Structures are given as C-alpha cells and as structure tokens.
C-alpha cells in the first residue's frame, strides 16, 4: 500500500536541512523541474532529489506518496505556471486562445517534464482551476452545456497533444533535433519535381514552417469552428425568442 502523505500543516520540518533549507512541496517540485531540465527523466530519482535538497530521500515521502505522486505534482505545477498572472477579459475567443497558448508554452518551457506529464490527469488545484476557467469561458460564450464539454475536450486534448509533440522534439539531444530540422532543407528542398511535384513547389514554405509549432494555427482553426457554432447558437436563441 502507498505510504500516507503527512497533512499539509504537519509537513514542514521543525528544523532546516543541513544547508539551511526549509523543505516545502513547492521547493521539492521546483527542484525536480530543474533536475528534469538538466538531466532528463532518468536523472530524477528520490536519492538524487534528496541529494539536491540536502535532505534524506525518505523525507520526500512526508510530501508525496511516491515518485508518481511527485510526477502529478510536477504536471500541476506546469499548469500553475501557465495560469500565473492570467485573468479573463470577458472576450471569450481572446481568453480561450490565451489560456491555450499559456498552457502549451508552460509545457514546452520544460520539455522533459512535459514528456512525463502531458498524458496525466492530476486532479490537483491548478488543473482544476484551468478546467473551470475553460468551461466558464465556453459557457460564457453562450454554448450549451453538452457543446461546451465537447469543445473543452477537443481544446484541452489538442493543447496537450501539441505540447507533448513539441516537447518531445525539444527533449531530443541537440544534434538529433538539428538533424531532424535540417531534413526540410537538405532533403525535402532537393527532391525531384517530376516525382514529387507538390513537395517541390511547397519546399521553401515547408522549410520555414515545419521547424515551428503548428499549435497556434490549429488553435485558431478550432476557435474559428467554435465561433461559428456560438454564432449559430445565438441566432437560434434569437429566433426562438421571436417565436420562429
């Protein structure tokens, strides 16, 4: 059975670690994020994390049930980074686009952590706040509940899927990433036009676009669809109010 997590009000150490650091869940998560960035997922272990914090590894279990619980906390912290400083403006399209770009950006800023966490459901406060915000934006746009949930599903999965894809590329060794990106110039740009006419005509544009994320484009396409649906919903409601 998993070890019980010590309640929040009893977690704080009565004295600092040997280096004078007072442990907290936030400090552990931020240290884990730094270790992932510097050493990758293979470098994140309880022993190494304890060394980085100058604390006995067993101390971590006062805060987390295990490394998987820590992984969920890391994912929730990334969403917290995304939401930090954000406030809705009341313009649903602007707000939804901003939330999507912030979440995608927060994951891509920590590619090693993103690879570990984009597929996870944490149930933690920051994730819940993001879900509540997205659903509130959609309901505020006048969409029915069922449509709001359907669009929320597409929106959040699209955001996380692109974050996972882009993070996986960024998590590659730099030489491998450079080689992959160079294929658009070294291979695609020199394909014979008689055999690959469509690639040949698109090659200059492909070399420019394919080394960037397609998420903003995909997000705008989704928002265009939502805008059309929201407009139809409002038009239908107006006609119903007039008795048609």
The count of other CB atoms within 10 Å of the CB of residue 149 is: 14
Q: How confident is the model at residue 15 (pLDDT cuts 50, 70, 90)?
A: low
Q: Which residue has the tokens 């698109």?
A: 202
pTM of the full structure: 0.86
142 token code pair: 């006048």
1-65 is classed CATH 1.10.10 = yes
What pLDDT sits at residue 1?
A: 38
Let me know: does 205 contact 217? Beta carbons within 8 Å: no
- Domain segments of the chain: what residues? 1-65
Using an 8 Å Cβ cutoff, are 118 and 71 in contact?
A: no
Tokens of 113: 């952590």
Q: Which of 90, 82, 13, 23 is nearest to 54 (CA)?
A: 23
pLDDT, tens only, 58-91: 989 999 999 999 999 999 999 999 999 999 999 9
99 pLDDT above the threshold of 70? yes
> Which pLDDT band holds residue 233 (cuts at 50, 70, 90)?
confident
Q: Of the candidates 202, 218, 20, 223, which has an alpha carbon nearest to the alpha carbon of residue 134? A: 223
Whether residue 238 has pLDDT greater than 80: no
Above 70 in pLDDT, residue 159? yes
């Amino acid at each position: 059975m998993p070890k019980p997590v010590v309640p929040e009000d009893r977690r704080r150490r009565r004295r600092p670690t040997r280096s004078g650091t007072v442990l907290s869940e936030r400090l552990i998560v931020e240290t884990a994020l730094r270790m992932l960035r510097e050493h990758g997922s293979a470098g994140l272990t309880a022993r190494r994390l304890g060394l980085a914090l100058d604390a006995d590894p067993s101390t971590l279990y006062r805060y987390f049930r295990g490394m998987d619980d820590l992984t969920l906390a890391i994912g929730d912290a990334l969403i917290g980074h995304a939401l930090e400083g954000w406030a809705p403006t009341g313009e649903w399209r602007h707000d939804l686009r901003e939330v999507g770009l912030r979440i995608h950006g927060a994951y891509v800023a920590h590619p090693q952590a993103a690879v570990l966490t984009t597929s996870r459901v944490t149930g933690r406060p920051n994730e819940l706040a993001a879900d509540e915000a997205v659903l509130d934006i959609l309901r505020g746009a006048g969409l029915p509940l069922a449509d709001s949930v359907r669009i929320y599903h597409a929106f959040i999965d699209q955001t996380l899927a692109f974050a996972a894809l882009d993070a996986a590329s960024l998590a590659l060794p730099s030489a491998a990433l450079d080689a992959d990106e160079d294929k658009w110039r070294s291979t695609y740009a020199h394909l014979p036009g008689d055999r690959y006419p469509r690639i040949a005509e698109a090659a200059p544009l492909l070399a420019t676009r394919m080394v960037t994320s397609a998420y903003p484009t995909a997000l705008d396409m989704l928002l265009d669809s939502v805008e059309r649906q929201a407009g139809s919903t409002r038009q239908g409601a107006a006609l119903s109010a007039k008795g048609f």
